[in-house]
Chain A
Amino acid sequence: MSKLQPLKQFMVTTWIPIRIGSLDLSLTNSAAFMLLAVALILVGMFLGLRRPQIIPTTWQAIAEYPLAAIETMVKETNGPEGRPFVGLLASVFLFIFMGNLLGLFPFAFTFTSQLIVNFTLAFALLAVMTVYGLVQHGWAFLRLFMPKGIPWWIAPILVPVELISYLSRPISLSIRLFSNMVAGHSMLKIFAFFTGSMGIFGGLLPLGVNVGLMGFELFVAFLQAYVFTLLTCIYINDALHVH
């Protein structure tokens, strides 16, 4: 009888070992699924936007829809100065959404369930925001941590709190995505184990729960990508217009 090991699906295994000197650049299952996600996005966009027409064809409308939605979201939160960020945010949204979706297929690996992947994304976005804010506003960017019009005696308490809250943004973004994916896929695995181990008629109830849970995981896949992108938009608004 096989054992219930819900966390074994998140193990990163090496498919093609590649060593250059002392660097380990192997192709792992995580890297392979990242490449697959990017390839699928590129193929979809290329097929849709190869010969764009004023009245869009079906595939062009499908490819344009997420880009238009993200441009609306950026314009609503940031105003017209946020326009340079639309490409970056569309890439982030499509990458995370495709990663979450690919993990729902059987025997697939969810690369967004790796905390380091999410943290790299979130930290890179934080670095972009901070550098952009510093370059554009200069030292006035630090007004983010000490807004005008507060009494001077609050400053020694407020500034460290604001600083910690600013630095914890990538942590909260990445942990939110990571824990949603890990919890969802672990539950799928646990109910699948019950389906297999309770006989033919006893396994119908966990199967039903799993079907519902798969639908919920589809919703969570989209929602987590959307929330990641929306929160990044709001943080970029902080960097563009310092309060």
Chain B
Amino acid sequence: MLDKTFAAAIAALPLGLVGVAVGRIFNTTIEGISRNPSVRDKVFSIAMLGFAATEAIALILLLVVLLILFS
């Protein structure tokens, strides 16, 4: 029972936290823009940077799961 598939399933669990983090990035971005609409361009590029960095964590986790399953 404690084989590769189980390990891959456990390794995929932290993706929930990454989802929460991505949601929080855009939450604060939208709130910041709604308070002060003139900062939209500056804040948006920083938000995209944060989103890509967080997404990188999710995809590195995907890489780890694939490594567990297929090697």
Contacts and interface: CB of A to CB of B under 8 A. Distances in A.
A175 interface: yes
Contacts of B49: 227, 230-231
B48 A179 contact: no
Contact of B53 (A179, A183, A226, A227): A227
B48 A223 contact: yes
A176 interface: yes
Nearest to B55: A180
Interface string A139-175: 0000000000000000000000000000000001001
Contacts of B45: 230
Interface in B26-71: 45, 48-49, 51-53, 55-56, 59-60, 62-63
A176 B48 contact: no
B56 A176 contact: yes
Interface residues of B, number: 12
Nearest to B56: A176
Contacts of A226: 48, 52
A224 to B, nearest CB: 7
Nearest to A115: B63
Contacts of A224: 52
A231 B52 CA distance: 11
B59 A180 contact: yes
Contact of B60 (A179, A223, A231): A179
Interface string A209-243: 00000000000000110110011000000000000
28 contacts: A172-B56, A175-B56, A175-B60, A175-B63, A176-B52, A176-B53, A176-B56, A176-B59, A176-B60, A179-B56, A179-B60, A179-B62, A179-B63, A180-B55, A180-B56, A180-B59, A183-B62, A223-B48, A223-B51, A223-B52, A224-B52, A226-B52, A227-B48, A227-B49, A227-B52, A230-B45, A230-B49, A231-B49
Interface of A: 172, 175-176, 179-180, 183, 223-224, 226-227, 230-231
Given A176-B52, A176-B60, A180-B56, 7 more contacts: A175-B56, A176-B56, A179-B63, A224-B52, A227-B48, A227-B49, A227-B52
